Chains A and B, each alone.
Chain A
Amino acid sequence: KQEVTQIPAALSVPEGENLVLNCSFTDSAIYNLQWFRQDPGKGLTSLLLIQSSQREQTSGRLNASLDKSSGRSTLYIAASQPGDSATYLCAVRPRNYGQNFVFGPGTRLSVLP
């Protein structure tokens, strides 16, 4: 069974710092991995989608990498801003466990002004 974990559970950084969020999954047989952002009381917003054949994806200050063989992904946020404060979830789309994503528990990020 595919399991997804995220470390740390919570992170607090001063504005302007570069930071890395980690995501690990137990089964490397995946179609893709997706990073989401969730603001308090809101829905999930897709940030980046990395296909299994790709190593990384970039969008603005965000860069996501994927190392499928080791079961890891990182989300790098450059020059963090208070507006980046949210919970970040990663999810993998397994090849072997039906047609749905398996979500991690999320990392709650606070960027302090």
Chain B
Amino acid sequence: DAGVIQSPRHEVTEMGQEVTLRCKPISGHDYLFWYRQTMMRGLELLIYFNNNVPIDDSGMPEDRFSAKMPNASFSTLKIQPSEPRDSAVYFCASSRTGGAVHGYTFGSGTRLTVV
């Protein structure tokens, strides 16, 4: 199993540009989570999906953030327009049963820098 795969590993962009982060969950996992990690706020849940359907997006900070999961093997997190305060590490995680039995598996993250 290749684990949770995220791309790109690093992204540097200028303020105002659109940024798209990508995630491929582990095959057979029916839950997918997007987290953001900063020094100040730690790990924050942004949104999660169950069977490709967004269940809770209350952690999405603003309308500039959007996430999609068009199929069971792919999800995107988009920021448009990006701002310097969006600079953080964005993690994707997947699980079976929502983590109630098997816990979470995290990807390696995307380090986003908005200048």
Contact = CB atoms under 8 A, between A and B. Distances in A.
Q: Kindly state the interface size class of chain A when it binds its partner.
A: 20 to 34
Interface residues of B, number: 24
A99 interface: yes
B56 A98 contact: yes
B12 interface: no
Most B C-beta atoms less than 10 A away, residue of A34, A41, A42, A44: A44
Interface of A: 31-32, 34, 36, 41-46, 49, 51, 89, 91, 93, 98-101, 103, 105-106
Interface of B: 31, 33, 42-43, 45, 48, 50, 55-56, 91, 93, 98-109, 111
Contact of B99 (A42, A89, A100, A105): A100
A31 B43 contact: no
* 10 closest A-B pairs by CB: A99-B98, A43-B108, A44-B106, A49-B103, A31-B100, A103-B43, A34-B103, A93-B99, A43-B106, A43-B109
Given A89-B43, A99-B98, A103-B43, A46 B104 contact: yes
Nearest to B4: A43
B50 A99 contact: yes
Contacts of A36: 106
